[in-house]
Amino acid sequence: MSYSWLESANCLYSEYQRKLQMINCGRQTIVDPPDTNSLSDGFGAIHRMRLLKIAAGVLNQTPLDWMGNRANIVAAIEDARSQNVSLLCLPELCVTGYGCEDAFHSSGVHDTALEMLQSIVPETKGLIVSVGLPLAYAGGLFNVAALLVDGAIAGFVAKQHLAGDGIHYEPRWFKPWPAGIQGVTEVDGREYPIGDILFDVGRIRIGFEICEDAWVGTRPGGNLANKGTDIILNPSASHFAFGKHSVRQRFVLEGSRAFNVTYVYANLVGNESGRAIFDGDAMIASGGKMLAIGKRFSYRPVTLTTSIVNVDVTRMARVRTGSFEPEIDGDEEDVIDVEFAYPACRLEPAELRAESWMAGSNLKEEEFTRAVCLGLFDYMRKSHSRGFVVSLSGGCDSASVVALVATMLKLAENELGFDFLLARVGSFLSQTGGPANAKQLIRRLLTTVYQSTKNSGAITRNAAAEVAKAVNATHYEFDVDSIVSNYEKIVSEAIGEKLTWEKHDITLQNIQARVRSPGVWMLANLNNALLLSTSNRSEAAVGYATMDGDTSGGLSPIAGIDKAFLRKWLVWMEQQGPDGIGPIPELKLVNDQQPTAELRPPADRQTDEDDLMPYEVLDLIERLAIRDKMMPIEILDNVELAFHDKDRRQLGVWIVRFFRLWCRNQWKRERYAPSFHLDDENLDPKTWCRFPILSGGYEYEIQQMEAHLKLVSE
């Protein structure tokens, strides 16, 4: 009899979810929620369904910002309470911030984290809340999720698999917790369970996979499912990378299906600590169906993604699964029983709706724009900078940086509104004479300057002026030619020799780039603003930049992206632009040019690709050499397949040029301003790509490739 009723309830719930998805796909069907709190089995008995409202909380935290982080956590709890949420999952290490680096080695940080946790506990009356923090135990430090239930600590679940590759260095600070082990820890004189545990809260079982735990083949979810877990929480700090959303979506959906559970995934959002950007991915899935997906790249400090879930549906799905073998050993020391009374809950419309820009054909362009813009916004706020300064040359790279800053403010205003945007970017803007609208705001926050020498041309000057005007930046023009001439005169007199282009080419190019640095730094100092460097990843790979010149700046926002994509993106920005924002048509003045440093005399018709090689070739060589770790002779075969119209010996020349420039210029990459991590091809030696400053320069491998080329040509 009970099975018959549950089958009816499952069918009713599934049909309602199906109709809700029809609505979210744009169909105008009106659906009234069924009364699933009370259903008859046909024999007069009334049964209560296990319905509860759960939420994934997304927070914009800052390492060691104790009161700011606490305020966001409490705001999320209050928001959850106002929405009748019973269970709230907050991100990994949200009390301290994820990116504390070696500050995790401070006992004072551990003590303060516990102090903050204890101040948060009373705020959870009537709720179940997961909060992340570091916790010292048995001589080691562990990355834990504390489950707070109705104003009390229920226990601590410790992370079992640590992220130790790419930009992650968790094993430097934390220890992995061994599977199947439980312990007891003391906090302020009271004992609490810690380790590989799950919670039976009001007869609903809640378990954890903490971020990396879900990315490995031996994920804890399988063991949790065998113990009858109903809900798995995944508090994460998972950085943005192109295409990563779809990977997360797959393991959330598959986890909910394979384990027959409701799966809640909560992530950080924003530029938390400098280089990594978090996209705020939040998802709730149940029984292999996605119930809710949150907004990505939000400018808000706190957002909740909620859904009503039916625990009985996943329980009965597990009952019907022939391969499921429950763990029955009579020993449940790892199950922590906690009393909790869930409030009455009714089905309501779901939140499942994909953002329109995620379904378009320009997903990478959209993600790049939104990730870097959010990264810039938070970097400005958290560094207490009063805007940005850019040396705008009229070329691709600097125009891209300017377009990103302008788009950043448009995206933020669209989501927050002008008044909230002002409050987010800094109180100094609200002082007397502050900006009254978005155009005035960007004029205050973005300053550009075109710095000319006798080798500069009218085309780049005009392009710089028009792009600055289009985005409403404050724009200046400096003539630095006299400064260049003075340096040339001083050095020529000192060495007793006139400097010439025939003999001193690189020297004369570099001095032009370097004399542009002091003036633009002065503007940044005057405005208390952040100077943005404009180097891209392709240039970083081969050192095609002047140290203390065009590399000057406190942040290098496009150093994580290759030049070939950047040129494609800039055309997209000219013609289409991000969804809801639109294009900047004036970028055509930049896109119509061949990229040039414009440092040699105009008669030389200097271009970047003449100096280096075609950017598409350079970027492929870089990926094969640095990402895939291939040797020169292997790269030759692959590049020849991709560029079969190019002469084989010329391809060999370019490969040699790449390796020699790569090895020679590692010291430059060590000195670059911080950049944003956007994909697994990053060249930042401080987070992703380690390489010796001094090396043999691949000379033996280059000789092998050249001998092979000679043999083939003969």
pLDDT at position 433, please? 67
- Residue 356 inside a domain? The answer is no
Does residue 571 sit in the same domain as residue 660? Answer: no
Instruction: Quote the CA–CA distance of 571 and 591 in Å, as a whole number.
Output: 7
414 shares a domain with 335 = no
Long-range residue pairs from 23-29, CB within 8 A, at least 24 positions apart, any chain? 23/349, 24/350, 24/352, 24/353
Query: Average pLDDT for residues 365-370, to the nearest whole number?
Result: 98
Split into its structural domains, the chain has a count of 4
Residue 355 domain-assigned (yes or no) = no
List the CATH number of the domain containing 640: 1.10.10
Tell me what the mean pLDDT of segment 50-59 comes to.
Answer: 95
Looking at the structure, do residues 203 and 221 belong to the same domain, yes or no?
yes
646 lies in some domain: yes
User: By the 8 A CB rule, do 90 and 73 touch?
Assistant: yes
The CATH number for 155's domain is: 3.60.110.10
Single pTM value for the model: 0.90
pLDDT tens-digit readout, 540-573: 999 999 999 989 999 999 999 999 999 999 999 9
**Do 170 and 300 lie in a common domain?**
yes
Whole-number average pLDDT of the chain: 90
Lowest mean pLDDT among 346-350, 614-618, 670-674: 346-350
Query: Are residue 410 and residue 281 in the same domain, yes or no?
Result: no
Least confident stretch, 8-12, 221-225, 278-282, 709-713? 8-12
Whether residue 370 is found in the same domain as residue 502: yes
Among residues 537, 569, 604, the one where a domain terminates is: 604
Please say whether the beta carbons of 544 and 611 come within 8 A. yes
696 shares a domain with 550: no
Residue 360 gets which letter from DSSP?
S
Specify the CATH number for the domain of residue 479.
3.40.50.620
pLDDT of 41 reads 37
Q: Both 549 and 579 in a single domain?
A: yes
Separation between Cα atoms, residue 483 and residue 358, nearest integer Å:
49
pLDDT of residue 163: 95
Q: Taking residues 513-525, report their average pLDDT.
A: 96
Is residue 96 in a domain?
yes
Domain boundary among the residues 324, 349, 374 is at 349
- 150 lies in the same domain as 184: yes
The answer to whether residue 354 is domain-embedded is no
Query: Is there a single domain that holds both residue 537 and residue 647?
Result: no
Considering 581, 604, 627, which residue would you say is the last residue of a domain? 604
For the chain, the residue count is 714
User: 177 and 278: one domain?
Assistant: yes
Q: In the predicted model, what is the mean pLDDT of residues 311-331?
A: 80
- The region, left, alpha or beta by phi > 0 then psi within -120 to 50, assigned to residue 38 is beta
Mean pLDDT over 689-698 rounds to 94
Q: Is residue 142 a contact partner of residue 114, using CB atoms and an 8 Å limit?
A: no
Residues 397 and 270 in one domain: no
- Using alpha carbons, select from 174, 175, 218, 221 the residue that is nearest to residue 198: 221
Query: What is the residue range of 698's domain?
Result: 613-714
The least confident of 251-260, 340-349, 386-395, 441-450 is 340-349
CA-to-CA separations, 687 to 132, 167, 277, in angstroms, rounded: 23, 5, 13
> What is the predicted pLDDT for the residue at 430?
59
